[in-house]
Amino acid sequence: ARPIFLTRHGESQDNVEGRIGGDPPLSSRGEAYAPKLAEFLHKRLKQEPAASVWTSTLQRTLLTARYIVGYPKVQWRALDEIAAGVCDGMTYGDIKEKMPEEHKARKRDKLRYRYPAGESYLDVIQRLEPVIIELERQRSAVVIVAHQAVLRALYGYFADKPLKEVPHIDMPLHTLIELVPGVGGMTEKRYNLLP
């Protein structure tokens, strides 16, 4: 069956500082992940008749995918990270300190909480619909290099997780998730490529 591979981009400079949003480049650890990912996929994809690589439009996903060669690449704006609106560029600590009501509201209901002038998880789930339709149409392997919130939404959909759990799904950096749809549901493997 045709597998779907999911991975976050390599660690970014903002991940190191705990800053959300933005369009930062990779940290040195994130840079180290990119060739590891390509090496693994070049081997693994030999078993597949065809494959394509889907990224967001943000440079951290393009940089992470850049050593994966020989497969068509598609950039999707719908795969861009959750928009943090007025909180873009802030750390969680900044938000808690400067906008305590926003911090509390998000803690209370992370699924429905919408950043002022930004998005909620429900918004992200909705904008991913065309991506999911296209994914289900694919007859070959797809590698998705995207972001934490977006991947929680995609994973939640394919693994059939209740909506309220989606914002809390564990989605570690430098880990490739392989999902294979089968008769009894999805099978899943996780590979930590930068231990």
Choose the stretch contacting ligand F6P; rule: CB under 6 A; options: 13-21, 32-40, 45-53, 181-189: 13-21
- 81 touches ligand F6P (CB under 6 A): yes
Give catalytic status of residue 9 as yes or no.
yes
Upper half-sphere CA count for residue 170 (Cβ side, 13 Å):
6
Choose the stretch contacting ligand F6P; rule: CB under 6 A; options: 38-46, 77-85, 97-105, 182-190: 77-85
Closest residue by Cα to residue 14 from 60, 51, 70: 60
- 10 touches ligand F6P (CB under 6 A): no
Closest residue by Cα to residue 122 from 87, 157, 77, 93: 157
Residue nearer to ligand F6P on the CB measure, 37 or 153:
153
Q: Which tokens belong to 136?
A: 């289900």
* Residue where the block lists tokens 């309220």: 164
- How many residues at the interface with ligand F6P, by CB under 6 A? 10
Q: Considering the candidates 103, 106, 147, 174, report the single residue annotated as catalytic.
A: 147
Round to whole Å and give the CA distance between 7 and 13: 17
Alpha helices in 128-172 (DSSP H): 129-137, 148-158
CB 31 within 8 A of CB 17: no
- 21 touches ligand F6P (CB under 6 A): yes
Site string for ligand F6P, 145-174 (x = CB under 6 A): --xxx-----------------x-------
Q: Considering the candidates 19, 29, 60, 112, report the single residue annotated as catalytic.
A: 60
Round to whole Å and give the CA distance between 136 and 85: 31
Residue nearer to ligand F6P on the CB measure, 45 or 146:
146
Work out how close the CB of 102 gets to ligand F6P at its nearest, in angstroms, rounded to a whole number.
Answer: 12
Provide the binding-site residues for ligand F6P, judged by CB under 6 A: 15, 20-21, 81-82, 84, 147-149, 167
